[in-house]
Amino acid sequence: MLCLDGEVNRALKSDVVLVGLLGGDLIYEFNEAGDRNIPYPRVIFEEISNVPGLACDNVESASRMTYRVSVCAETNLVEIVNAVERVMISIHFVRHSAEPIRNMPMGVI
């Protein structure tokens, strides 16, 4: 099974625009955030599905992975979401969402 948590973490944390919008390194893998009081805005990501897609000679070379990236913000929500989307696309992820961002309640993505 392929694991991209480290790559996702590095890509999000190394983006100066995203970190600037958040006011610091407020990007967490799901289990890192825990019950701590983390200030807003923040980004929390987690892998929710990882299904092997292609293997040859018992070596996996492709997977279908699904990540949930939650943007928790009281302001600049659209800017932060756009920055996260740009970063995720740069590492070859595709965004699938049930509704366009303009119709979502504040703080939910």
DSSP output for 68-83? EEEEE-SS-HHHHHHH
In a domain, 109, yes or no: no
What pLDDT digit, counting tens, does each position of 14-67 carry?
A: 999 999 999 998 999 886 656 567 778 999 999 998 888 787 787 777 778 889
pLDDT of residue 101: 55
How does the average pLDDT of the chain come out, rounded?
A: 82
pLDDT of residue 53: 78
Instruction: Give me the percent of the chain exceeding a pLDDT of 70.
Output: 81
Main-chain phi, psi angles of 9, to 5 degrees: -60, -50
- The residue among 54, 35, 42, 29 whose CA lies nearest residue 80 is 42
Domain assignment present for 83: yes
Structure token digits, residue 82: 């756009």
Residue 61 pLDDT: 76
The range of the structural domain enclosing residue 61 comes to 5-103
Within-domain flag for 21: yes
Can you tell me the mean pLDDT for 70-84? 89
Q: Does 3 have pLDDT greater than 70? A: yes
35 in any annotated domain: yes
Count of residues for the chain?
Answer: 109
Res 107 pLDDT > 60: no
- Please indicate, yes or no, whether the overall pTM of this predicted structure exceeds 0.85: no
The number of folded domains in the chain is 1
* Per-residue buried b or exposed e for 11-43, using 16+ beta carbons within 10 Å of the residue's own CB: bbbebeebbebbeeebbbeeeebeeeeeeebbb
